[in-house]
Amino acid sequence: MVVLDSAWDGSPGAVHIAAHIHDNLHRNGWARERCAVVVIEPELEAWLWQDNPHVAEVLRYRSEPGLRALLTQQGFWETTMPKPARPKEAVEYVLRRTRRPRSSALYAEIASKVSVAGCVDVAFQHLAETLRLWFPAEG
């Protein structure tokens, strides 16, 4: 399983990245059904965002307007979109505003409080489906 962001200088886009890596894995001996490539668009922080009060709680945002409204006002989150277009910048903005340091513990805390059932991200769904296929629930 290879998981990476698509947002980097010179990126050819998620579809091309996934195909290129998958082809390289196959050329190097991996059976196509035994490997998977998950390319997150644009970056991992996209998986963090849900319109869920626990996200604001973990980010320590307790002000008005609410978190989504704030991010909409600041141009990070279009009202018709399920996630901010620039998810990493949105996280960084809120962390600066709340003076919370960025750390892996932040992501672990969000993951422990927010259900993955609400994650509509295509790359996340691909990851979850692949893991279910490779490791089916028993009994």
Q: pLDDT at position 124, please?
A: 94
Q: Token pair for residue 128?
A: 């979850």
Q: pLDDT at position 50, please?
A: 85
User: What is the DSSP secondary structure assignment for residue 101, as one 8-state letter?
Assistant: P
Tens digits of residue pLDDT in 3-56:
999 999 999 999 999 999 999 999 999 999 999 999 999 999 999 898 889 999
- Bridge partners of residue 115, in order along the sequence: none
Q: pLDDT at position 139, please?
A: 59
Model's pTM, two decimal places? 0.84
Q: pLDDT at position 116, please?
A: 83
Sequence ranges of the domains in the chain: 2-44+121-134, 48-116
DSSP 18-62: HHHHHHHHHHTT--GGG--EEEESS-GGGGT--S-HHHHHHTT--
